[in-house]
Amino acid sequence: MQNQLFLKELTREAARRRTFAIISHPDAGKTTLTEKLLLFGGAIAMAGAIKAKKAGRHATSDWMAIERERGISVTSSVMNFEFNGHAVNLLDTPGHQDFSEDTYRVLTAADSALMVIDSAKGVETQTKKLMDVCRLRDTPIITFINKLDREGRSPLELLDDIEQSLGIEAAPLSWPIGMGKGFQGVYDLRQARLRFFEAADKGARPREGVIVQGLDDPALDELLGDAGAAGLRHDVELLDGAGYPFSMERYLTGKQTPVFFGSAINNFGVRELLEAVVDLAPGPRPRAAAPREISPLEEEFTGLVFKVQANMDAAHRDRVAFVRICSGRFNRGMKLRHHRLGKDIKASNAILFMAQERSGVEEAWPGDIIGIPNHGTLNVGDSLSTGEPLKFLGIPHFAPEHFRRVLLKNPFKAKQLDKGLTQLSEEGAIQFFRPINGGGMLLGAVGALQFEVIAQRLASEYDVDVDLVGTKFNAARWLFAESKEALDKLVHEESDALATDAGGHRVMLFTSDWMMERTVERWKSIRFEATRECADATA
């Protein structure tokens, strides 16, 4: 009987969860939309100003110094809040392509995605790349076309752009009334209503005013004017005949994206979007693992570390592992098996997030994101459970495309440098390599802007000043071999090009594509891999 009650509670709590990542090309308004989702969700009382570094407040989700200075997101953050009876886990991701590795890992922890598009620019380069990542897992995507308060492309043209550029059906579930200076709001096609908001103090949550129910409501003509009302009716009639009807099945399998229009800065369309996310987006889904797939409704607790963040609280020099709960219930203080190390750990100080703000958590359920403070015990890709040994799959390290040699300005701070690079590399955004023949340490990153972030964080968080100078290398590959003899022979003959990464794995560095092709052709008994599962890290 007790077991049945627990399973009933588990099923109910899992069904309440909505865990989604918000993604976009830079400057599409993603951070502003994130703030407004938190505002409408009641998680914050006032939205921050997302403008210049002169602003007194900054986006709740942008907490790192460089984020506030540049006005961009360079690390992902997690925000938990309740809305309409659902527990929402919102994962804000970096938009800049140089931080795509962090975004990729966050998407592995999400059950769906919210894609933000600038109405003037349409689908952009990074949007396409993020879409490719989502397509790898058939991640369901809801699209929000932002900045309708500015002059931009027509709604029909934007829908066609999504379909042609991203190869996915676009089914509008809201429709804009005008654009730019003539923008009057959005009509909710899903609920057949138009919401108007009363003026509120700057940054505060808008107060809901008049609601127009349906296109036949006489109030529509009074509020929009005859021309505006007639134009809206004409557009909706056109969509009924020519647009894609929304299909829940096609959305959940990644073949169709429901599309919403609005202006995040002016609050138009944000509430409709948030309501759709909790109504339409899937709850926790089964996750691939070895030796078997894990259902969210299994009794045993399982969790996946998809991110590690150092120094969220600079005063305590802490490291927090972000854990996606995949099944079962988490209780404060429970013992969890750390399968990479083969040890038990006690999760006594687990936390919930609001960007860098945190609060203790007594219990959590599938779909929730919790933080476990630790001192380097947990790495990206680690699997935790209260039951059988397992390893969650699909969180890789990517081979760096940019390299820098580290020159320490003060040689007496070598220990601080080593500590800083070790901890920052655990986050997965930067990788460092030690050449086996000695010489200075090398840093590798997927995006060059990461080096600027690392140099600033070393200075501000570890009091270490470095110069990062260019190298001759432009590619790296991890080495895997069935035969130890073959690997030892390569190490002996190619030692000048070899290094070890932070996990102790052998890596070969290349100065050109031609050199890499020649080496791969010569050493046929060795695999040169561009990715490595994070969970492969050594103890």
Residue 173 and residue 192: Cα distance in Å, rounded? 10
The answer to whether 255 is annotated as binding is no
User: Six-digit token pair at 161?
Assistant: 């752009």
Say if CB 61 and CB 35 are below 8 A apart.
Answer: yes
Q: Yes or no: say if 538 and 507 are a contact pair by the CB < 8 Å rule.
A: no
Q: What is the DSSP letter of 442?
A: E
Helices H / strands E in the chain, number of each: 13, 33
> Exposed, middle or buried by CB within 10 Å (0-12, 13-18, 19+), for 434?
middle
Which helix H or strand E contains 444, and what residues bound it? strand 442-445
For the chain, what percentages of helix, strand and coil (3-state, to nearest 5) are there? 30, 30, 35
Number of Cβ atoms within 10 Å of the Cβ of 12 = 10
- 509 among annotated binding-site residues: no
- Look up residue 344 and give its two tokens: 């038990």
Question: Tokens 């004017």 — which residue?
Answer: 225
148 is in an annotated binding site: yes
Residue 24 is labelled as binding a ligand: yes
56 labeled binding residue = no
Q: Is 25 annotated as a binding residue?
A: yes
* 468 annotated ligand binder: no
28 is in an annotated binding site: yes
- Is 217 annotated in some ligand binding site? no
Residue 350 CA to residue 322 CA, distance in Å, equals 10
Distance CA 370, CA 148 (A): 36
Q: Is residue 29 marked as binding?
A: yes
Q: Report whether 341 belongs to an annotated binding site.
A: no
Structure tokens at 405: 């040699």
- Cα–Cα distances (Å) from 527 to 159, 478, 519, 520, in that order, read 44, 8, 11, 8
The Cα–Cα gap between 301 and 292 comes to 15
Q: List strand residue ranges (DSSP E) for 222-274, in order.
A: 256-261
Provide the 10 A C-beta neighbour count for residue 343.
Answer: 11
Beta-carbon count within 10 A of 317 CB? 13
> Interhelix angle for 414-426 vs 449-462, to 10°?
120
In 352-508, where does DSSP find H-type helix?
414-426, 449-462, 484-493
26: annotated binding-site residue? yes
| 30 annotated ligand binder | yes
Say if CB 308 and CB 328 are below 8 A apart: no
- What residues have CB less than 8 Å from 485, skipping those under 6 apart? none
Mention every residue, 6+ apart, whose C-beta is less than 8 A from residue 352. Answer: 80, 358, 359, 360, 361, 364, 368, 369, 370, 371
- Decide: 320 and 307 in contact? Cβ < 8 Å: no
> Does 397 show up as a binding residue in the annotation?
no
Residue in the structure block whose two tokens are 């969220």: 312
- Residue 31 assigned ligand-binding role: yes
| Annotated binding-site positions | 24-31, 92-96, 146-149
| Annotated binding-site positions for GTP | 24-31, 92-96, 146-149
